[in-house]
Structure 1
């Protein structure tokens, strides 16, 4: 990825002077019980004989390196006990100045849930003694409606039975290749479960009946105990699974809206809390919250359940780690702001390389056409320091570039005040608007905006150079070797990190474009974007509204696309926003 490093500062993790510190830290963790070994179900490549991360297994269940069919194996692995800090991790999110979407993702990753752990007795006709299966649920009020149990492929009971059941072995082999939304399940033969409420005299007969047990792909081994109670009447996923595997068996509804004994919508699970129905026996008529409390009281009394919380976060398996390095950094910087959700995509790396090649070609063509001189921006003029003269900014496009340069230090200076030599900014000159995100270089927007055509539309070619320099400086700070090569091609005397970064000179408010682009809506729906003369700053209220309406009606964009269909003179209301950048005609 065109990275550049100072090899005098190279270190190797295999160097004893380095890994002695790693060993010291690891031993400290181990002594304090924060590093330990345990068996875990992993993705195993039989050809490379190594453990693979989930991302290294393709959609066909094969290794992305060797192409071998990946196997599920129970192997001893090393873990870091990060689960000890899960509550602190959750609590401290509130104090972070992060986008809410990112904090929400972190909370979901931690996955704290409050509910109950419930034990179901197991009867296996070919086995003398089988341990209870423990499930976690956030809805103990639906316990009367349990119609099956579903287990993850890694559940101990499944592994025990697979040793003697060849059909189960085949199912487990095919399971990784099933899509995540698969409703297929394997019914464990000669094995049944018993609802813990079955021992209560007043419990309805339907709840006392033994329950089938399935192995299902939708059950996650890292949630709860790798087992769930199936309640088709009150869970969408359970309902779909039941209808796929037991289409002829009725769905039992044990919770409904108040004053109803059946769900309001037939054949659709009732997933909200409500009031227990007659199928809940002695608890019929209680609200979900009160019924949950009573059920927990009964279960706790007989040692069949208790209130509990569970977390999606599991201890960190460290036996298989990868070093993503510069490829990941470049991929993230080129794709999206840090607040956006971003999935790893190998193909995007090729796109980054193409982008750098385009920038290289573009810069050399620009240089061949115009050359580059040292410039300073001030009061709508740029000073040619080589010729000791002043040049007037000749076009809106050129003014837009200069305005971005003046807006950038103001937008980012305060954010990076603690590290003034480490600004990471982006430039985009499209439509005279800076499209940038603090802390992120966005070259893909820059290249699409800064084309040779802009320079040929009256822009002084030196202005484009004023924008290119800071872009190259930002890329160089991200460790991009190619940016330094480009710099040497256009600046032969001053090294890249010695060149002054753009600073404010007080001219930003003076660099106003002659025209204004206005998004035009009709009843809140965008119909076109028009361009007209910039209104004077003194125009306010009705005067500004009249100016904007006239500019819209006189524009060719409005006349060609909308004017013949909509008569805005009949609008009930005209709303002008942001000084004329948006207008909405309410008809």
Structure 2
């Protein structure tokens, strides 16, 4: 059994017990190491180093000053003076009460990247807070009869405790919840600023009403089946007075900004494509279809139906016109036609997927193409007009031209309503212009058919403008138009748990902004509402709160009882993290200049449209507005034209994949099985307890109904945070789905244990050697000592070869790992590279102690962002008198390549040199060039290379042993061995 006694000022691991571990972290403890019985206790290491980091943080706070606002200002001042800052942000969580593995994955990624940049010497901001408003808290309050604020605060406390277990380096001094009045005071200020800038409107609109949650939903919150994104209820259409942000004013800026974000893969192409599609910029045409009725008075002076289409070239294939049930024409007809009225009544509760239409028998429409000239006589027939549920009243003119040959919904409507005749193909894939022989719509570009007259056989893409211009010039019934799918952002919510809209309604003065000195407008206490378990908006009945004087005329008035969409909070929270203690402004000028925009933003791709689009709008609108004002704080001080804050809030976007859990299904019923219904006594062959059969095993999104969830806190308490973090990062590339498997963490734990044992064994060999305190210069070491290869001693040669192999792997690993941390998406390769580096260091015991110590030191620094507590422990064992790796004031620096790699490359070969069959030395020379074939040329080349090695020339070019005078040269194994036969010396 190996023993060593060593005096250290840092920790050394003896036992599993926490008290022993803590005791050994006292300075100048005399430590005894027994390798055969020592064990690694990762959870204990977590507790010890979290406490040390906390103590170190408190020391730094005392250095900066006790006042939070002073601390914030000092930090921002320091950051402003440093160009090398880094703002890393993970999408803040909703405080549901329990941390899940999805949370753990995104925050592990963010923390690892942040710690990496800290070790690179950057001033890193890694904040954490809570997206605390929203329906879940309010619904929980109704179910439990408690205030949503109480439920939310309890959940925040619980989730913060869970987050702290993951060894994160979050700056908790900047923590806030969006339900804090100190936060939503500034949300209200921003609302009023946008209103002052003309970017807020209030108007009556047909809105999406969720009958379960009893609130309005934005279009983005309704799925393709017309259901609420949260409650799943079938959404109803209701007319209400609502508040809107005029995001459409920024549509061009939002679209053009995507081009910048696409450069150098700053944002994933998938997200960019989703945003482009949501903005929906299209170039098309607006056609006017003349109308005729049996009784012209029914049309009420309506001469045309204006219709916008993104495919103007398909106008030759129009076979019917469809109008929305919500269109003015449909409603006008319903007032005088009982059948139309009955049909519209029958549509209540129907979805837009309903294809059963109603043909208006006494109204016809005419294709504008038929008015162009004689060549289009086939287009002069009247077109039937339908009321069709699939046509949206809020999109464009509320009418579409039905082209069943080139649109899937038009084709489905054509079939559902049994319209007679063949569909008319205006476009075909055949260059000859022949009609396609297909049973269904043709949706691609192609060639115009004979229906297009003179455009027949021409490319459909190339004739669009010409077609529209001809119709326009002949009839004035067409014009080219650019249209957008994007609609203004509806932010009104008829719920309690959100930011109150800071508007007071006065019958005399109209809507008035709440004065700045009266902000925030806080939510009133309505305990009776929660105790009664009532749904709906309690603000409407909070009379003491609602009734208030008008700020302009001081007469009786009422507060607005709507609250803001919670996406408003998450659209600017990243700005507030830069200056969270500012009482006067959302963010100061100095904080904005030093911290914004966010350098790396990390979160799920499910936020690609709503949150990210709104956040981009807010940044452009708010920062651009502030930029144009003058004054003392951010709301009117961004006057320097060199600082344009109107661009993008997130320089890089990292979207991590989901975490799927192992899921067991009954092979007969397909039912999801609970853990106690599976026999795992043989983990490689689980069985269904009830039947003894093999279950179906899949990996699916974790949920309670599938019984496949994993409690991360339980996992961390068992395996330790660092092993869990490494396991999460190792199992899958960042962007891909992680199929969680508890058992696979064993490999990570073995790796950490192997590093741990190696560190202690290596520490025992140091014994205060003088050269161990000097930073290792790999380039100088291997350049100066290259002559050592000339030794004939095999042991020395092996020692040197192992040293070179270890240091070569170190240099390659530094480059590879650094690149992976920079790219983020390849963090899984960091762990695999470090495992390989560990194997090389440990498997090359003949390498010099200095090289192994330097290599291990670099290994610890490279793994520190992923396993910070474990790395701190190993670092302190090897370097007990140095700062902690993550010391707040002076963190240890990241390793960089030292320039030695060219001297360590594998394109060189160890060459054993013998003279007359007797080994004289071993030298390191380049591999034989492939273009040297002639044996005489090879002999000359290899002799020259040998003599170029320092030390070899003195030994092999003496008058007695000048290898250049050899009578015969034998080159073997491609240059790995050379034997020189020298001429016999004459006897004296």
Please indicate, yes or no, whether the TM-score normalized by the shorter chain is above 0.5. yes
What does residue 757 of structure 2 align with? 369
Aligned CA distance change for structure 1 residues 366 and 20 (closer, same or farther; 3 Å): same
Q: CA deviation at 1:146?
A: 0.5
Which of 238, 243, 262 is the equivalent residue of 2:434?
A: 262
Q: CA deviation at 1:117?
A: 0.8
Taking the aligned partners of 2:803 and 2:413, their CA distance within structure 1 comes to 65
What does residue 912 of structure 2 align with? none
Alignment of 1:195 onto 2:366:
yes
Alignment of 1:455 onto 2:455:
no
1:539-550 residue pairs with structure 2 within 5 A? 539=929
Taking the aligned partners of 1:214 and 1:466, their CA distance within structure 2 comes to 73
Taking the aligned partners of 1:343 and 1:162, their CA distance within structure 2 comes to 52
Taking the aligned partners of 2:344 and 2:464, their CA distance within structure 1 comes to 38
Alignment of 1:84 onto 2:249:
yes
What does residue 185 of structure 1 align with? 355
Q: Is the Cα contact below 8 Å between 2:406 and 2:443 reproduced in 1?
A: yes
Task: Give the number of equivalent residue pairs.
Answer: 471
Taking the aligned partners of 2:411 and 2:417, their CA distance within structure 1 comes to 10
Alignment of 1:496 onto 2:886:
yes
Taking the aligned partners of 1:166 and 1:4, their CA distance within structure 2 comes to 64
Alignment of 1:210 onto 2:383:
yes
Q: CA deviation at 1:253?
A: 3.1
Aligned CA distance change for structure 1 residues 123 and 446 (closer, same or farther; 3 Å): farther
Larger-gyration structure (1/2): 2
What does residue 128 of structure 1 align with? 298
Alignment of 1:27 onto 2:192:
yes
Aligned CA distance change for structure 1 residues 253 and 10 (closer, same or farther; 3 Å): closer
Taking the aligned partners of 1:371 and 1:172, their CA distance within structure 2 comes to 73
Q: Is the Cα contact below 8 Å between 1:152 and 1:216 reproduced in 2?
A: yes
What does residue 229 of structure 1 align with? 401
What does residue 576 of structure 1 align with? none
Q: CA deviation at 1:369?
A: 2.6
Taking the aligned partners of 1:393 and 1:169, their CA distance within structure 2 comes to 88
**Deviations 1:456-476 (Å, cap 9, x if unpaired)?**
871679756634533433x6x
Alignment of 1:505 onto 2:898:
yes
Taking the aligned partners of 1:469 and 1:40, their CA distance within structure 2 comes to 59
Taking the aligned partners of 1:494 and 1:128, their CA distance within structure 2 comes to 84
Q: Is the Cα contact below 8 Å between 2:864 and 2:871 reproduced in 1?
A: yes
Q: Is the Cα contact below 8 Å between 2:222 and 2:235 reproduced in 1?
A: yes
Aligned CA distance change for structure 1 residues 211 and 405 (closer, same or farther; 3 Å): same
What does residue 175 of structure 1 align with? 351
Taking the aligned partners of 2:904 and 2:324, their CA distance within structure 1 comes to 64
Q: Secondary structure of 1:134's match?
A: strand
Alignment of 1:115 onto 2:288:
no
Taking the aligned partners of 1:30 and 1:73, their CA distance within structure 2 comes to 25
Taking the aligned partners of 2:824 and 2:173, their CA distance within structure 1 comes to 29
What does residue 519 of structure 1 align with? none
Aligned CA distance change for structure 1 residues 20 and 263 (closer, same or farther; 3 Å): same
Q: Secondary structure of 1:308's match?
A: strand
What does residue 321 of structure 1 align with? 566
Q: Is the Cα contact below 8 Å between 1:44 and 1:51 reproduced in 2?
A: yes
Q: CA deviation at 1:402?
A: 1.1
Q: Is the Cα contact below 8 Å between 2:288 and 2:305 reproduced in 1?
A: yes
What does residue 385 of structure 1 align with? none
Q: Secondary structure of 1:190's match?
A: strand
Q: Secondary structure of 1:26's match?
A: helix
Higher relative contact order (CA 8 A, sep 6+): 2
Q: Secondary structure of 1:143's match?
A: helix
Aligned CA distance change for structure 1 residues 260 and 366 (closer, same or farther; 3 Å): same
Q: Is the Cα contact below 8 Å between 1:135 and 1:228 reproduced in 2?
A: yes
Q: Secondary structure of 2:356's match?
A: strand
1:150-549 residue pairs with structure 2 within 5 A? 150=322, 173-175=349-351, 185-190=355-360, 194-197=365-368, 202=374, 203-204=376-377, 207-213=380-386, 215=388, 224-225=396-397, 227-235=399-407, 238-239=410-411, 242=414, 246=418, 249-255=421-427, 260=432, 262-263=434-435, 265=437, 267=439, 269=442, 271-272=444-445, 274-275=447-448, 277=450, 279-280=451-452, 293=466, 295-299=468-472, 304-319=477-492, 320-322=565-567, 323=570, 329=602, 345=658, 347=660, 355-356=724-725, 358=727, 361=749, 364-371=752-759, 376=776, 378-379=778-779, 394=802, 401-407=809-815, 426=817, 436=820, 438-440=822-824, 442-448=826-832, 450-451=834-835, 455=839, 458=843, 463=855, 466-473=858-865, 484-492=868-876, 494-497=884-887, 498-512=891-905, 539=929
Q: Secondary structure of 1:501's match?
A: coil
Q: CA deviation at 1:494?
A: 0.9
Q: Is the Cα contact below 8 Å between 1:151 and 1:214 reproduced in 2?
A: yes
Q: CA deviation at 1:283?
A: 7.7
Taking the aligned partners of 2:656 and 2:400, their CA distance within structure 1 comes to 29
Q: Secondary structure of 1:47's match?
A: coil
Aligned CA distance change for structure 1 residues 369 and 309 (closer, same or farther; 3 Å): same
Aligned CA distance change for structure 1 residues 120 and 207 (closer, same or farther; 3 Å): same
Aligned CA distance change for structure 1 residues 229 and 69 (closer, same or farther; 3 Å): closer
TM-score in terms of structure 1 length = 0.60
TM-score in terms of structure 2 length = 0.39
Aligned CA distance change for structure 1 residues 405 and 193 (closer, same or farther; 3 Å): farther
Taking the aligned partners of 1:158 and 1:396, their CA distance within structure 2 comes to 84
* Deviation larger for 307-316 or 185-194: 185-194
Q: Is the Cα contact below 8 Å between 2:204 and 2:239 reproduced in 1?
A: yes
Q: CA deviation at 1:135?
A: 2.3
Q: Is the Cα contact below 8 Å between 1:154 and 1:221 reproduced in 2?
A: yes
